[in-house]
Structure 1
Amino acid sequence: MSGPSLYNHFRTKDEILEAVADSVSALVDLSMFEDARDWRTALHEWAVSYRAALRDHPNIVPVLARGPGRRPAALRLADAVYGAMVEAGWPPAQATSVGALMRYFIMGSALGSFAGGFVDDASAYDPADYPHLGQAHLLAEQQEKIDERAFEAGLTALLDGLALQYEQARATT
């Protein structure tokens, strides 16, 4: 399909971007919210699926970051997360915060690569200026592994913190 022929189906560039964003949202697996998985396991599996979709389509992340708008797949995603948290016993206001927090974390992790931000030129990291970056030029070649490990570490820390909040919320009800 040529660029101009897209405008036979969409009136504006924004409509095209919204359609692409919704198709990426539709790639996110939501099945973990449809069975008996506990909220923490479901959030973990959903976050991994969501991040994978964003990693495969990084140029659409800024559009997705604006929120679901009227995109059906994005609204189903928000509904699934919120509904699962409320059904698990999260108070509605906290369920909203959990969904927002998870989106912030996942979107942020998809916006760029920590390891990919370092050039693979050892001379860029003069020990006189950067005494602790002597191996930084090697980070780019390990980009995927480093970024995946960082995402998992952050996700675990985030879920650990949410588990504490969940127990506190349950104790006060």
Structure 2
Amino acid sequence: MGRPRTPLLDRERITTTALEIVDAQGEFSVPQIARRLGVQTGSVYHHVDGRDGIVELLRERIAQRIDITALDIRPWDAALMTWARSYRAAFAAHPRAIPMLMTSPVRAPRVLEQYERAVTLLLEAGFPLPDVMPVIVALENLVLGSALDLAAPETMWEIADDAATPRLAEALDAIGDNRADRAFELALEGFLRHARHMLDTQAQA
């Protein structure tokens, strides 16, 4: 028999299958991937560097949706704002992957390239080297927390008796639509305002 035109197994199919499982249940195992693809577990290991390798493939797949060209924008704060919005949108599409990726070291070369460009952006803007990673990590915390918030129910506070918490009830009634988006933009502007202040303080020192 001739060889099949399409390989039965490759890294793309493994990544797609792993992401489908993570989107459904928040985790995956290599045997689950193998069963879904109709192959032996050992066959999966022929294409990837174990479970950690699959995690990094997932990180790369999700990060492909982040607009890395945003980091070429100037000034630096406009670049971070655009990058943050794109970063949030990419992870909001796969919120159940966030806890897994946040607790696993970043090794994927394409993802490390984004960090390299973000570090370069901040250094060129004048941030001291010791402040660069805290600024990036703080922005990531904001972005990923908001991506999880987008996956939450629109109504997160259920009040059985308005009389018991009248101010809260009024505030919830007044919030309107797009709660998560409004909260994200508020937090992002606050973050950037503080980062600008850090930079101004450094310049005056």
TM-score by length of structure 2 reads 0.69
Say which SS state the counterpart of residue 118 (structure 1) adopts.
coil
1:147 aligns with 2:184: no
Q: Distance in 2 between matches of 1:68 and 1:49?
A: 22
* 1:89-128 superposed matches below 5 A: 89-113=126-150, 116-118=154-156, 124-128=159-163
Q: 2:64 aligns with which of 12, 22, 26?
A: 26
Superposed CA RMSD in Å reads 2.7
Q: 2:92 aligns with which of 47, 52, 55?
A: 55
CA contact 1:115–1:146 (8 Å) conserved in 2: no
Q: Distance in 2 between matches of 1:90 and 1:17?
A: 32
In structure 2, the residue matched to 1:130 is 165
After alignment, is 13-22 or 128-137 more displaced?
A: 128-137
- Work out the number of aligned pairs and report it: 165
Unaligned runs of 5+ in 2: 1-12, 18-32
Say which SS state the counterpart of residue 127 (structure 1) adopts.
coil
* 1:56-95 superposed matches below 5 A: 56-66=93-103, 69-95=106-132
TM-score by length of structure 1 reads 0.81
What are the superposed Cα offsets for residues 9-48 of structure 1, whole Å, 9 maximum, x if unpaired? 336444323211221122211112225x111100100100
Q: 2:190 aligns with which of 152, 157, 162?
A: 157
Report the alpha carbon displacement of residue 157 of structure 1 after superposing the two structures with TM. 0.8
Cα distance change of structure 1 residues 72 and 146 upon mapping to structure 2, 3 Å threshold: same
Q: Distance in 2 between matches of 1:43 and 1:67?
A: 24
Cα distance change of structure 1 residues 66 and 80 upon mapping to structure 2, 3 Å threshold: farther
Unaligned runs of 5+ in 1: none
Q: Distance in 1 between matches of 2:50 and 2:155?
A: 34
> Structure 2: which amino acid aligns with 1:162?
A
Report the alpha carbon displacement of residue 138 of structure 1 after superposing the two structures with TM. 9.3
Q: Which has the larger radius of gyration?
A: 2
> Structure 1: which amino acid aligns with 2:163?
A
After alignment, is 108-117 or 153-162 more displaced?
A: 108-117
> Structure 2: which amino acid aligns with 1:134?
A
